[in-house]
Amino acid sequence: MNALVRVTPQGRDGDVPPPRGARHPRARTGPFGVLDIGSTKVVCLIARIEGDGTPRVLGFGWQRAQGVKGGNIVDLPAAERSIRAAVADAEEMADTKLSGVVANLSCGQPESRVLNIQWPIGDRAVTEADLRAIVWEGRRRLSEEGRETVHALPLGFTIDATPGVDDPRGMICEHLGARLHLVDASSASLRNLGACLAGCDLEVEEAVSAPYAAALSVLVDDERDLGATVIDLGGGTSSLAVVQEGHLVHTAQVAVGGWQVTNDLARGLTTPASHAERLKTLHGGIMGTNDDDKEMLPIPLVGEDDDHLARVPRTMVLNIIRPRIEETLELIRDKLESASLGRDTGARVVLTGGASQLVGMREAASRILGRQVRLGRPHPVRGLPEAFHTPGFATTLGLLAWGAGEGRPVLDLDYGAKGASRGTFARFVNWLRDRV
């Protein structure tokens, strides 16, 4: 997959971002598909970018996820069935056949890394080839560790002893230093994802970090510029993306999500998982009231007939949910602290994802993280029913925003020779299709 580098524009033709409301020069042309593979659901959307630069959905498909756990493919045939069903529904509605998709990346334990690379220039002008070489050097270092680069974003360049250079092209120096932010994932997990999609006759045209996609759909312009941390509380994982001055500066993931809350309820109350999920959705929360001890909830028990119901106070449900949510938020807090980004970087927190809708989640996050917190809903998209405009679909709609050109780097400095396939991951998927 392409390692993408964003360089702050310096007035070159084609480098200046388009005015708001105009079509982005790197927006997708014609109908395109996005595929959100989550631990609880698989969603496929087919859309096109209108003249005003915004997407319009032509068709959608939504299936319960099978064969996916913690964002990773664990059962290839089951995962293929879920993906095929979601894609088929979207294709039928849009009357369009997809050969490739923009996919979210949550598998392979994605991590952020910052590399400092020195590159010899030899007293000449810096070219785009030099920038590409730096990116490939970063990719090479990670591939030696069994990791594959998803995004490569420069945090700044140094011309000899002069730091703080945004765009070094055309500048003369002896050595070019680059501070690269790399988002990587396990190569083995990516191969499993590639094999799964190849079995569905699909190519990964582009892959986007899942929390970054969520950030694109829920952040307002001021938050992107001033800095914000988006926490996507998903079904099988919880992930975060820190955005500063329009750049993705950090991302991390913990293997705990809404499914663990449901599982805790099912075990603690000995009730079927389907009812535990319903209980969490209708009566779950973090904060209680004085009446919770009096509110008795009917609970079907595992193995019992439907007319044999236990009754438990709502307080018991809250006491099961609260420790798991607090643990999740504490793990996220630890990830932020270990990143050493500084207190002011991403100081505002935006919660999204299905589990963010639990009553009291905002207050619990503010207390544990020690930051300002708001709940984020994705920006509306034409052609979608209201059910999609909820936090649980933030990543899905963020993939559409990426297709429209939002959040993309100004320059793509990771392409191969002319006529080559798009990035190493796309080439790998093509290789699989020929052999699987």
Q: What is the pLDDT of residue 1?
A: 37
Q: What is the pLDDT of residue 411?
A: 53
Buried b vs exposed e over 238-274: b needs ≥16 C-beta within 10 Å? bbbbbbbeebbbbbbbbebbbbbbbebbbeebebeee
Show Cβ contacts of residue 289 under 8 Å, excluding neighbours closer than 6 positions: none
Q: pTM for the full model? A: 0.83
The residue ranges of DSSP E strands in 238-347, in sequence order, are 238-244, 247-254, 296-300, 309-313
Domains of the chain, earliest start first: 111-185 (3.30.1490.110), 271-322 (no CATH)
Q: Please give the angle made by the CA atoms of 66, 102 and 167, to the nearest 5 degrees.
A: 140
Q: What is the pLDDT of residue 369?
A: 93
Q: What is the pLDDT of residue 427?
A: 47
User: What is the mean pLDDT, run by run of 10 residues, along the chain of 436 residues?
Assistant: 36 44 78 92 94 92 89 88 95 94 84 88 91 86 78 85 87 91 83 87 88 94 91 91 87 90 93 91 87 89 81 93 95 90 80 92 94 93 92 95 82 42 46 42
Q: Please give the angle made by the CA atoms of 407, 330 and 344, to the nearest 5 degrees.
A: 50
